Amino acid sequence: MSEFEFPSDLLHRLREAHHVVVLTGAGISAESGIPTFREAQTGLWARYDPQELASPQALAHHPELVWQWYAWRRDLVRRAQPNPGHLALAALEKMVPRFTLITQNVDGLHQRAGSQEVVELHGNIMRTVCAANRHLVTEWASPPEGEAPRCPICGSVLRPDVVFFGEPLPPQALQTATAAVQTADVMLVVGTSGAVYPAAALPEIAKTHGAYVVEINPLPTPLSSLADVILRLPAGKALPALLAAAWPEHTPERL
Ligand code: OAD
């Protein structure tokens, strides 16, 4: 028996959907202990603005600082575990005929939770590429003492394979995401502030193409006004409960 009441229309649409698309942001990983972008950073990094560190300018002028910041975030990600929100989305993928999970997160927690169809719009923090030619460097590049590590192939500075502020998104990922939202019957928008484009435009495209849009976020966002249903709850509570309410007979006990 769920402690939440969901609108029957929402449960019906989920059960009947042919294609469910989910857009996630940093909020879904907050319950795994990874701080979101727009909340205060902690400890050593409290005085830095993530927007300034995650930038091509910072990499060019202060590569060692950028590397130390990413080393700290990588460490957080390595120690984090998928939470019930991630696990519920992995389970939801198995319930519906077609499912696409679009994430702005770079932490890989959806894949670790078992999600298969994941479109990474902003890259993945655990991969390392070189700044000049995007050579993929597989060996672990440890945080430098003095200067940033360099590509063994071309010698340019290495960087995490993530999209920095002001950089374009990987074209293939954006294309896949845009195509997916156009055929979605239901779109769940989970834990994103809707502040960063083009990801923030995806729910509107979905809506224009007839999708039923559901926002799951404890706080209002600019996307709230286009949602058909708003669940003002943390994702780790809302998603398992929603799954259990829509498919009471199938939901695994561990959720
Ligand atoms: P933000 O940090 O902007 O927003 C996080 C959202 O999650 C906020 O709206 C919170 O209210 C919400 N939230 C917090 N805890 C939650 C919980 N337990 N369950 C559900 N929601 C919760 O993160 P994003 O929207 O992901 O881009 O930010 C988008 C992009 O901006 C990031 O991918 C990153 C950043 O700059 C790049 O690095 C290119």
Known catalytic residue: 86? no
CATH, range 35-79+125-162: 3.30.1600.10
Distance 151 CA to ligand 1 centre (A): 31
Structure confidence at residue 149 (pLDDT): 82
- Nearest atom in ligand 1 to the alpha carbon of residue 234 is 19
Q: Is 243 in the pocket of ligand 1 (CB under 6 A)?
A: no
Structure tokens at 77: 């990600």
Distance 191 CA to ligand 1 centre (A): 6
Residue from 4, 24, 36, 55 whose mutation best tests the ligand 1 pocket (most atoms within 8 A of CB): 36
The structural architecture, per CATH, of the domain 1-33+82-122+169-255 is 3-Layer(aba) Sandwich (3.40)
- Cα separation, 36 vs 106, in Å, equals 12
Structure confidence at residue 189 (pLDDT): 98
Per annotation, catalytic residue among 61, 122, 135, 250: 122
pTM for the full predicted model = 0.93
Average the pLDDT over 233-253 and give the result.
90
Q: Which stretches within 39-170 are classed as H helix?
A: 50-53, 56-61, 63-79, 84-95, 109-113
Q: Where exactly are the structural domains of the chain?
A: 1-33+82-122+169-255, 35-79+125-162
Per the CB < 8 A criterion, the answer to whether 162 and 123 are in contact is yes
Average the pLDDT over 67-91 and give the result.
93
Model confidence at 38: pLDDT above 90: no
Q: Is 232 in the pocket of ligand 1 (CB under 6 A)?
A: no
Q: Which tens digit of pLDDT belongs to each residue from 191-206?
A: 999 998 999 999 999 9
- Cα separation, 4 vs 233, in Å, equals 10
Distance 167 CA to ligand 1 centre (A): 18
Q: Is 219 in the pocket of ligand 1 (CB under 6 A)?
A: yes
Contacts within 8 Å (CB) and 24+ apart, 201-210: 202/23, 202/102, 202/177, 202/178, 203/23, 203/227, 205/178, 205/181, 206/21, 206/181, 206/182, 209/181, 209/182, 209/183, 209/184, 210/185
Contacts within 8 Å (CB) and 24+ apart, 39-44: 44/72
Distance 102 CA to ligand 1 centre (A): 14
DSSP-derived letter for residue 196 is: S
Structure confidence at residue 1 (pLDDT): 46
Count CB-CB contacts under 10 A for residue 39: 11
Q: Is 130 in the pocket of ligand 1 (CB under 6 A)?
A: no
Q: Is 41 in the pocket of ligand 1 (CB under 6 A)?
A: no
Where in the chain does DSSP place strands (E)? 19-24, 98-103, 118-120, 123-130, 136-137, 158-162, 186-190, 212-216, 229-231
Structure tokens at 168: 């374009």
pLDDT band at 146 (very low <50, low <70, confident <90, very high): low
